[in-house]
Amino acid sequence: MKSSLITIIITNLVLYGISESLAQSILSYRSNQPMISFKLNDPIDSVILEDEEGFRVDNNIVDNDNDSIIDDEGLDRFIEYLRRDQNDFQSQQENQNELITYTPLTYFQFNRLAGFMCWGIIMGIIQCFWYKFLQIYSKDPKFIEVLRKVLTDQLCYSPISLFCFFTYGTMILENGTWEDTKLKLSKIYLKTLIINYSVWFPIQFFNFLIVPRSFQVPFSSSISVLWNCFLSMKNSTN
């Protein structure tokens, strides 16, 4: 109560971090794949070459006189062998490379988490002043007061905040352009706004009707954990 703004900022910082962590965990999960990228089969470290006369040499030989010594006759035969069978050897290497497969890389994006938490701080400050502004209806009868608060919140605040979120998510979190933002908004903005109304109308009605005034922002932020997770996934997958 004494430091309501600081409390709201810290609360939003934690809750938005939980939302983004949950969203990234869901998006990166694959039931049929490991969570760490690795190479299924490594390329052959050394290839044993053998010519018609039975000469054998390891291609992993290092240029160290103490480690390996090749006489002049063997070196000449080895060079001749390479020249004669160079095409076959390259074809063999290409076939080996085709067998090397990789699993998709899935990892946690800490820069995106930090950006989402910064958005939570911004929203915490805005919500604090917005909820104070909604107290202009406090002199009305209880039901009328709540109804006006809900309608004002959903018809004024929600469309703007949703627009700002997708703009922030595209241009800041994803390093996109204004053209990318317009394309994303044209695809998902109206659909998401309709879902927003179906979710937040009853929640905010309960919030303004039952929850004490000092806990209304923390309450809506707590409910927003799943909602912001949904928004983060929506922003990432479109």
pLDDT of residue 36: 44
Query: Is 192 found in the same domain as 74?
Result: no
Query: Is 197 found in the same domain as 118?
Result: yes
Query: Is 128 found in the same domain as 211?
Result: yes
CA distance 168 to 174: 9
* CA 231 and chain centroid, separation: 12
pLDDT of residue 197: 94
**Residue 97, pLDDT above cutoff 60:** no
| Percent of the chain at pLDDT exceeding 90 | 23
Q: In b/e form, how buried is each residue of 168-177, taking b as 16+ CB within 10 angstroms?
A: bbbeebbeee
Pick the residue with more confidence: 33 or 162? 162
Query: Is 207 found in the same domain as 143?
Result: yes
Pick the residue with more confidence: 87 or 171? 171
pLDDT tens digits, one per residue of 183-231: 999 999 999 999 999 999 999 999 988 988 878 877 887 888 999 899 9
Query: Is 54 found in the same domain as 141?
Result: no
Pick the residue with more confidence: 126 or 76? 126
pLDDT of residue 75: 58
**Residue 105, pLDDT above cutoff 60:** no
The residue range of the domain holding 25 is 4-34+108-236
Q: How many of the other CB atoms lie within 10 Å of CB of 156?
A: 13
pLDDT of residue 67: 46
pLDDT of residue 192: 93
CA distance 169 to 180: 11
**Residue 41, pLDDT above cutoff 90:** no
pLDDT of residue 72: 59
pLDDT of residue 99: 47
Backbone angles phi, psi at 102, to 5 degrees: -130, 145
Total structural domains in the chain? Answer: 2
Last residue of one domain, picked from the residues 78, 98, 118: 98
Token code pair at residue 61: 């030989």
* CA 80 and chain centroid, separation: 54
Structure letter (DSSP) for residue 103? P
CB under 8 Å to 150, separation ≥6 — which residues? 201, 204, 205, 208
Q: By mean pLDDT, which of 38-52, 64-78, 133-147 is the weakest?
A: 38-52
**Residue 8, pLDDT above cutoff 90:** no
Q: Work out the pLDDT band at 103, boundaries 50, 70, 90.
A: very low
Token code pair at residue 31: 């039931």
pLDDT of residue 9: 82
- 41, part of any domain: no
Mean pLDDT value across the chain:
75
**Residue 121, pLDDT above cutoff 80:** yes
